[in-house]
Structure 1
Amino acid sequence: MAMLIALIPALAWGSVGIVTTKMGGTAAQGTLGMTLGALIFGLSTLFFYVMPAAGADYALNPRIWIVGAVSGLFWAVGTAGQFVAFKKLGVSVGNPLSTASQIALNALMAASVLGEWTTGKMWIFGLLAIVAVVTGAVLTSLPDPDSQIAPNPEHDAKGGYIALTLSSLGFMMYFVFPNLLNKIGFISDALHSAPDGSGLHYMTAIVGPQSIGQVVGALIIVMFIMHEGKTMWQPATFRNILTGLIWGVGNIAMFISAANPEIGQATAATLSQLGIIVGTFGGIYILHEKKTSRQMKYIILGTVLVVIGAVIISNLGNFA
């Protein structure tokens, strides 16, 4: 059951690029709409699960609120950058590149900072797996120099890669921050592990304040960085609430898995990124992003490498 929960984010988050593209609007509208959906999901989790199941000690704990809100701010940076990259690179290119960078950064942070890779064998196989993931993502994004397909009119490789870099750093901190604050003692082990060592109370309690941080972060980015304050309340923003609800399901499943000792941060973050399969092929077959036969061969090979790398990382405990 724990492994099935850990796979939910892959399906939910792999669908995000497809759903937001279908909902339409600018990257700013997609970002803000998604945070509104996340807010609905986060507050529902707080009032209908955390308060009755874990009580006020978790639902109203000021330290949990600080961790959640800051994590949400990091997420807003990650999401805004990712949506910009999707617009400039296309979902079928932006998704695998974003996925690879997140797998690599999250695994390395969890391994080095959180100490989840404890032996030389784990580091050797972990680094080999990251190489496979990065190589696979690069293959999925290779252009065909002989392609006659008309380019995306919004295509901007440089802008897309800059956005992806900022996005990956934001998502890395969003993933790692809740467990990092436990590692440094801001969140006690007793608070972090309840009930019964699963961490369920802490990770679900984070979701409510996290969603508020997400909305605040999105508003700041949309108004002061993207300069789209005048267009942020148009219909496309509200359509993208659906994107946020889908993302919320994956979010809570990911944090539950990260807190579960049977899964861990590195494995949970890695499995969550298997949404590359949904995002890459969904961009091609659902959004009709054109690819040549040569590119499809690269995409299939690259996807296989990413999956192999992710599976190795999720089973590193066998090398301890």
Structure 2
Amino acid sequence: MNIILMLLPAVAWGILPLAVERINGRPVNQIFGTAVGTLLVSFIVYAVIHPTISLASFILAAFAGGFWIIGQLGQYTAYHEIGVSQTMPISTGLQLIGTSLIGVFLFGEWASSNAKIFGVIGILLLIIGISLTAVHDRKMQQSKNSSQTKTLIMLFLTTFGFLVYNAIPKAMATSGLAIFLPESVGMVIAVLIYISATHQPKVLREKASWQSLLAGIIFSFAAITYILSVRDNGVNSAFVVSQLSVVISTIGGMVFLHEKKSHRELSFTLIGLFLIVIGAITTTII
């Protein structure tokens, strides 16, 4: 049962990008639906377990959810621009590198010399893996190369949102399912602020926005099963296995979304995926 519980988050997070891209909508539709869907599930979770949380922790968790929107919106935008099969390994690798460095500098992780050595090796593997998955044939047009570069810069910058989302719970006394509701409240507030700031009120009425509730349900399932897996299997095991989601989403993008890659690109992508998974293991189990 514990093995199944470890695999469920990876499967859910792996199919999330595929489900999102099957919905005929824009990133703003997708992020709205994801946030609202997550909020609805969080109400159910709260009604079942009745967790207790202080006002200060509630506010901090809500801020974490708001920053998650920044990262996820960047990811959804990249799906449209460069495809799921290229976005996910790059985004996952950047998150792993950033989260590892935050753990070292803010929370004193990798205290021993061996931990530092393996940690640096893991980060180098992640960097190499990311670089390989970003390889494209030179025959691409210059305009496409320019567009890809802009998208990768955007993805790099918005990853900051994911890093804050992952870091805040580490600094809190309260964690687990207790912060699920306040995080989802922060998600919805952040999405509504974004929609208002970008003058897109019609998003609230568009069919694609409400179809994207499915994405929120899938995300919630992944998040809940991950929290339960951490409880039963420990942080390291649960985290490392959850990173297999990048393999599912990348290969799924090519198979189910028909994202085309040349033989050379495919070879580099598969090698890069392997290095990213090994890098994740190396930076976590030390």
TM-score (norm 2): 0.90
Given the alignment of the two structures, is residue 11 of structure 1 paired with residue 11 of structure 2, yes or no?
yes
Match of 1:125 in 2: 118
Identify which of 94, 104, 107 aligns with 1:101: 94
Distance 1:218 1:144, change over 3 A: same
- Structure 2 counterparts to residues 132-147 of structure 1, below 5 A: 132-146=125-139
- Structure 2 counterparts to residues 231-250 of structure 1, below 5 A: 231-250=203-222
Please provide the CA RMSD for this pair.
Answer: 2.4
Return the alpha-carbon distance in structure 1 between the equivalents of residues 41 and 112 of structure 2.
39
Q: Shift of residue 208 of structure 1?
A: 0.7
Distance 1:112 1:260, change over 3 A: farther
CA contact (8 A) 2:32 2:188 kept: yes
Q: Shift of residue 165 of structure 1?
A: 2.1
Match of 1:160 in 2: 151
Distance 1:86 1:129, change over 3 A: same
Return the alpha-carbon distance in structure 2 between the equivalents of residues 20 and 245 of structure 1.
11
Return the alpha-carbon distance in structure 2 between the equivalents of residues 311 and 75 of structure 1.
23
CA contact (8 A) 1:75 1:170 kept: yes
Q: Shift of residue 269 of structure 1?
A: 4.9
Match of 2:186 in 1: 213
Return the alpha-carbon distance in structure 2 between the equivalents of residues 127 and 141 of structure 1.
21
Return the alpha-carbon distance in structure 1 between the equivalents of residues 152 and 32 of structure 2.
21
Deviations 1:188-247 (A, max 9, x none): xxxx4xxxxxxxxx310100111111011111123314x422234211111111111111
Given the alignment of the two structures, is residue 37 of structure 1 paired with residue 28 of structure 2, yes or no?
no
Return the alpha-carbon distance in structure 1 between the equivalents of residues 230 and 56 of structure 2.
19
Structure 1 range deviating more: 77-86 or 245-254: 245-254
Structure 1 counterpart of 2:35, one-letter code: T
Return the alpha-carbon distance in structure 1 between the equivalents of residues 103 and 222 of structure 2.
19
Given the alignment of the two structures, is residue 169 of structure 1 paired with residue 139 of structure 2, yes or no?
no
Distance 1:3 1:137, change over 3 A: farther
Structure number having the greater helix percentage: 2
Structure 2 counterpart of 1:167, one-letter code: T
**Unaligned ranges ≥5, structure 1:** 193-201
Q: Secondary structure at the match of 1:143?
A: coil
CA contact (8 A) 1:34 1:245 kept: yes
Given the alignment of the two structures, is residue 263 of structure 1 paired with residue 200 of structure 2, yes or no?
no
Identify which of 229, 243, 259 aligns with 2:201: 229
What is the total number of aligned residue pairs between the two structures? 284
TM-score (norm 1): 0.81
**Unaligned ranges ≥5, structure 2:** none
Return the alpha-carbon distance in structure 1 between the equivalents of residues 240 and 101 of structure 2.
11
